[in-house]
Structure 1
C-alpha cells in the first residue's frame, strides 16, 4: 500500500502513483454506491484502468478496502485539523461531531468487511486513529476555551458519545430527522448552560 520507495528498489513512477490514486478514488466512489461487496472489476472500470493495475497496487480486495478505510479516516483527521482554526469553535466542533455520526454506517460496513476477512482493524488504523483523536481533542479544547462545550467533558467522553450516537444513527437507518433530533439532545448535554 505504501507509495514510498521499496527497500532496494526505485521510487514509484509518477504514472504509477497517479494510477494508484485513481484506483483509490474510484474504489471509494464504487464502495459508497454499491457497498463493500462491489467487485474489483467495478472499481477498475470506474478508474478507467485494467484489473491488473488494481491488483498491482492492491494485491487483494481486502487490501483495497483497507486503503480506502484508512484514507477516509485520514480525510476526517484533515477535516478536523482544518476546522481547528474556524472562527466559531463551538460550531466547528458540533459540525464535525455530526459529520462523523453521519458516516457511521459506511465506516462500520468497511470495518465489518475487513474483520470478516481477518484484518486487524485496530492495528490497521492505529496511526490514523491517533491522528483523528489528536485533531478531535484540538477541536474540543478550542470549543471549551470558547465557552461552547462544558469543561468537565474530556476526549474519552466525546469518543464514547460518538460511538453511541453512531450506533444509534445506524439503527434508525436512513431517517436523518431522527438522527438530527437525537444529535440535538446530545449537543444540548454538551453545551455550557448559562
Structure 2
C-alpha cells in the first residue's frame, strides 16, 4: 500500500503538529513491519521521539493509527475494483484483484486479523475503511458470478476471509518464499465455477 497519507481533517495544521504526525506514522510503519500490528504503542512513540500521551492525542486508539496507515491503500484497492468491473474477463479481473489484496493484507503480521475484527465491529475506527473494501469486493465478485466464471455459493465476507487467511499463511516463517503464490493459486482455482455434471439415468431392468 502507498505510504503517503493525506493530512486528516480536524487535526492541527501547525508545522510542528504535522511533523509530529508524520513522525508517528513513520515510526508505526517501521514498528509494525518488524513486530506486527500488536506491537507496543509505547515503542511507536519512543521511535517517533514523543510521549505516549502525544501519540494518543493524534491517534486515540490502535485502530485509529492503523486506519490512517491503511486508508490510502484501501482507497486504491476500491478504485482498482471499480476499474476491473469493466474488464471483458470478469474471472481474471477478480483473480487480479485478489492477488493485489493479498499483497496488501500481508504487509504486517497481524493485519489480516485486524481487518477481519474491524469488519465485525462497527465501533472500530477501522470499520468504515474495511467495510468499503468489502463493498468493492462484493461488486467485483457479483460481476464475476453473473458471468458464470465464479461459483455462486460465495459472498464478499467469505472471500475476504479466505484472502486474509492466505495472507496470514504467507507471513509464517516455515513457508518458502513462493508459498504465497501457491496458496493464492489454489484459492483462485477453488473459486472457479464447476460445470454441472449430468445426472446419470438409471438403467432399465
Aligned pair partner of 1:41 in 39, 46, 68: 46
Aligned pair partner of 1:75 in 63, 67, 72: 72
Aligned pair partner of 2:83 in 82, 85, 90: 85
**TM-fit CA distance, 1:132:** 1.9
> Mapping of 1:111-150 within 5 angstroms?
122=121, 123-124=123-124, 125-150=126-151
Q: Unpaired segments of 5 or more residues in structure 2?
A: 1-6, 196-205
Indicate the structure with greater helix content.
1
Rg larger in 1 or in 2? 2
Quickly say closer, same or farther: Cα 1:43–1:90, change in 2 above 3 A: farther
RMSD of aligned alpha carbons: 3.8
**TM-fit CA distance, 1:174:** 5.5
* Separation in structure 2 between the aligned mates of residue 27 and residue 92 of structure 1, nearest angstrom: 35
* Separation in structure 2 between the aligned mates of residue 62 and residue 17 of structure 1, nearest angstrom: 13
Q: Unpaired segments of 5 or more residues in structure 1?
A: 6-10, 45-50, 116-120
Contact kept, 8 Å, 1:24 with 1:68, in 2: the verdict is no
- Paired positions, count: 173
Contact kept, 8 Å, 1:69 with 1:107, in 2: the verdict is no
Superimposed CA distance per residue, residues 95-152 of structure 1 (whole angstroms, 9 cap, x where no aligned partner)? 332344343471516968xx9xxxxx94322222222211221222233345442333
**TM-fit CA distance, 1:33:** 4.2
